[in-house]
């Protein structure tokens, strides 16, 4: 009810005037209005209560979508009657519409309420972790996890259903709703904003609350929200991002970026009228807080860092995509040198293996022109790419040096891409790559001072089933295929943007 507290809404006997008034009252800075039928329902309620009224003004004075309203009534035979009335009919109509416009303060308060409820049952009165590792399987819904569990068991020669993944032993398991504020089916950037900033967001925006609207540069100025990395850095902790997608892609971008479009990864994607006012995500990462202070950045996406005139060092026929002529990799290195920080840049596995964590406090690793290869397609040699587990180990070797602790984000982002390509083998294999990264982290951290959370930003349309399917049936085989060998098939990948469409509203959380 934030905007109701700041202004009054007038109701007149003319139904046409009612709808216009309500729409204009809500339009600034919001873009929706109460439907005609709701306005008429509210009008009828008010006029039944005050049959002699000429105008009625309703103002919420309860502190946000409450039940107490000040209703000022102007009647035909007298003016100035002011009363306080708890009016449930008014509350229902207004609250239903106003829920669409929650800014970050609403979601912060919801989090405080939820935390207070849970902490009252906590036996440990020091519920603060020194370190936090957040692992995210992009598009890794419940059905994907179930199939990956069976897949992993069958790889070990078991029937599969009885197998347990590493996170199945975690002490707490839950589910999350992943809808966006203006979309029933969530997509990665808005879901990541909810997950890592604690604030529901609009479809395809990143790092903004609901005041930020798609591709509207100016709407991003007042709607920016802080993230887990902001909060970790404010506490003096080291921070890191590890992903096998582009480092500027939708999910990792929510940790440092604020953009009205997840696709503004470099300046060529930003509309020309907005380029002077809104930075692309790659520039935000190296120039703004908290991005410029992140200790470890590893993933793909060199194309968004390199100018059009520069060729990629690995895919030598490919050029960068930046139109501003800047090489942001050089700019990142220059910034760290200027600030007297020990920093290194690497772009293949061999270079990463040569890093001495005792001599490096800041590490940038960009291992692919676009997204990194699927694990099954990865070149594990020195000129190839590190695995997700390799990057996790390297990140921890640097982050653990901080006595105040660290925050590390690890994303297996190509689960989602495999689902988009309708390639079940790679989706399940990438899920198991996330498990391998989790096991690598568990081997290196102290569990008594480290909180590990494994979840998904959203689910996917992946499903499996079959009536009376026998135990141990190959998870990738049809009934007719029986026990055919499960081999990966070739997949044609689109190096352009992979959108997050047709995803399901259910992400699983393991803590």
Do residues 30 and 133 share a domain? no
Q: Which of 188, 189, 261, 412 is catalytic?
A: 188
The dihedral through the CA atoms of 293, 297, 301, 303 has a sign that is: positive
Do residues 96 and 193 share a domain? no
Where does the pLDDT of residue 13 fall: very low under 50, low under 70, confident under 90, or very high at 90 and above? very low
* List of residues 6+ apart from 217 with CB closer than 8 A: 260, 270, 271, 273, 274, 277, 278
Do residues 216 and 358 share a domain? yes
Do residues 10 and 140 share a domain? no
Q: What is the CATH number of the domain that holds 407?
A: 3.40.720.10
In the numeric block, which tokens belong to residue 396? 């921890």
Do residues 91 and 188 share a domain? no
- Asked whether residue 426 is assigned to any structural domain, the reply reads yes
Range of the domain at 43: 2-101
List the single range of 112-126, 198-212, 406-420, 475-489 with lowest mean pLDDT. Answer: 475-489
Is 412 catalytic? The answer is no
Q: Which of 101, 121, 149 is the last residue of a domain?
A: 101
- Asked whether residue 471 is assigned to any structural domain, the reply reads no
What mean pLDDT value characterizes the chain?
Answer: 82
- Asked whether residue 117 is assigned to any structural domain, the reply reads no
Number of H helices, E strands in the chain: 15, 13
In the numeric block, which tokens belong to residue 172? 């707490």
- Asked whether residue 419 is assigned to any structural domain, the reply reads yes
- Asked whether residue 110 is assigned to any structural domain, the reply reads no
List the single range of 18-22, 238-242, 320-324, 449-453 with lowest mean pLDDT. Answer: 18-22
pLDDT for 107 equals 87
Do residues 162 and 258 share a domain? yes
- Asked whether residue 17 is assigned to any structural domain, the reply reads yes
Do residues 254 and 378 share a domain? yes
Q: Which of 101, 116, 139 is the last residue of a domain?
A: 101
Q: Which of 101, 117, 152 is the last residue of a domain?
A: 101
In the numeric block, which tokens belong to residue 169? 């032993």
CA 142 centroid distance within chain: 18
- Asked whether residue 119 is assigned to any structural domain, the reply reads no
Do residues 197 and 322 share a domain? yes
Do residues 139 and 246 share a domain? yes
State yes or no: pLDDT of 463 exceeds 70. Answer: yes
In the numeric block, which tokens belong to residue 230? 């902001």
**Predicted model pTM:** 0.78
Do residues 92 and 197 share a domain? no
- Asked whether residue 44 is assigned to any structural domain, the reply reads yes
Give percent above pLDDT 90 in the chain. Answer: 65
What long-range pairs does 108-111 form, CB within 8 A, spacing at least 24? 108/198, 108/199, 111/198
Give, for 286, the enclosing helix (H) or strand (E).
helix 281-287
The dihedral through the CA atoms of 386, 391, 393, 395 has a sign that is: positive
State yes or no: pLDDT of 271 exceeds 50. Answer: yes
Q: How many CA atoms lie within 13 A of 301 on its CB side?
A: 28
Mean pLDDT (whole number) for 369-373: 98
Rounded to whole angstroms, the Cα distance separating 322 from 412 reads 26
Residue whose C-alpha is closest to residue 343's, from 388, 335, 327? 335
For the chain, the domain total comes to 2
Do residues 345 and 431 share a domain? yes
In tens, the pLDDT along 63-119 reads 444 434 445 555 544 434 444 333 433 444 444 444 445 678 888 888 888 888 877
Q: If you write DSSP's letter for every residue of 134-163 in order, what string do you get?
A: EEEETT--HHHHHHHHHHHHHHTTS-STT-
Do residues 279 and 366 share a domain? yes
Neighbouring CB atoms inside 10 A of 291's CB total 23
In tens, the pLDDT along 212-270 reads 999 999 999 999 999 999 999 999 999 999 999 999 999 999 999 999 999 999 999 99
Integer CA distances (angstroms), 54 to 20, 89, 115, 468, in order:
17, 20, 47, 69
Rounded to whole angstroms, the Cα distance separating 486 from 154 reads 10
* List of residues 6+ apart from 293 with CB closer than 8 A: 233, 239
Buried b (16+ CB within 10 A) or exposed e, 2-41: ebbeeeebebeeeeeebbebbeebbeeebeebbeeebbee
pLDDT for 503 equals 39
List the single range of 3-17, 185-199, 330-344 with lowest mean pLDDT. Answer: 3-17
């Amino acid at each position: 009810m934030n905007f109701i507290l700041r202004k009054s809404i007038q109701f007149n006997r003319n139904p046409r005037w009612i709808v216009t008034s309500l729409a204009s009252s809500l339009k600034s800075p919001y873009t929706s209005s109460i439907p005609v039928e709701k306005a008429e329902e509210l009008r009828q309620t008010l006029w039944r209560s005050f049959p002699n009224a000429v105008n009625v003004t309703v103002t919420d004075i309860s502190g946000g979508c409450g039940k107490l309203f000040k209703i000022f009534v102007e009647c035909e035979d007298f003016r100035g009657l002011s009363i306080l009335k708890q009016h449930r009919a008014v509350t229902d109509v207004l609250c239903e519409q106003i829920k669409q416009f929650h800014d970050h303060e609403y979601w912060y308060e919801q989090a405080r309420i939820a935390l207070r409820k849970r902490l009252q049952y906590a036996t440990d009165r020091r519920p603060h972790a020194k370190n936090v590792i957040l692992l995210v399987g992009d598009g890794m819904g419940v059905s994907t996890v179930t199939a990956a569990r069976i897949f992993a068991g069958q790889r070990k020669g078991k029937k599969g259903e009885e197998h347990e993944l590493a996170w199945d032993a975690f002490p707490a398991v839950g589910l999350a709703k992943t809808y966006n504020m203006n979309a029933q089916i969530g997509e990665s950037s808005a879901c990541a904003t909810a997950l890592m900033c604690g604030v529901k967001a609009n479809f395809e925006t990143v790092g903004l609350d609901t005041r930020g609207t798609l591709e509207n540069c100016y709407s991003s100025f007042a709607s920016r929200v802080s993230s887990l990395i902001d909060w970790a850095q404010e506490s003096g902790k080291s921070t890191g991002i590890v992903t096998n997608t582009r480092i500027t892609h939708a999910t990792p971008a929510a940790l440092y970026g604020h953009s009205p479009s997840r696709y503004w990864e470099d300046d060529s994607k930003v509309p020309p009228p907005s380029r002077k006012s809104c930075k692309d995500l790659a520039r935000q990462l190296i120039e703004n807080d908290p991005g410029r202070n992140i200790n470890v950045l590893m993933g793909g996406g060199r194309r968004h860092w390199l100018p059009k005139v520069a060729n990629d060092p690995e895919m030598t026929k490919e050029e960068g995509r930046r139109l501003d002529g800047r090489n942001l990799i050089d700019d990142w290195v220059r910034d760290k040198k200027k600030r007297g920080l020990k920093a290194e840049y690497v772009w293949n596995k061999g270079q990463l293996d040569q890093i001495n964590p005792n001599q490096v406090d800041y590490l940038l690793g960009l291992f692919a022109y676009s997204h990194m290869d699927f694990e099954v397609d990865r070149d594990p040699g020195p000129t190839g790419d590190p695995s997700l587990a390799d990057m996790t180990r390297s990140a921890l070797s640097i982050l653990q040096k901080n006595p105040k602790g660290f925050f590390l984000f690890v994303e297996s982002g190509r689960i989602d891409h495999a689902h988009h390509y309708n390639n079940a083998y790679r989706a399940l294999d990438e899920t198991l790559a996330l498990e391998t990264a989790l096991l690598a982290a568990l081997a290196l951290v102290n569990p008594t001072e480290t909180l590990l959370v494994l979840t998904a930003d959203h689910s996917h349309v992946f499903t499996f089933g079959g009536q009376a399917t026998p135990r141990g049936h190959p998870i990738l085989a049809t009934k007719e295929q029986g026990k055919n060998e499960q081999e990966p098939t070739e997949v044609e990948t689109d190096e352009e943007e992979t959108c997050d469409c047709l995803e399901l509203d259910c992400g699983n959380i393991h803590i």
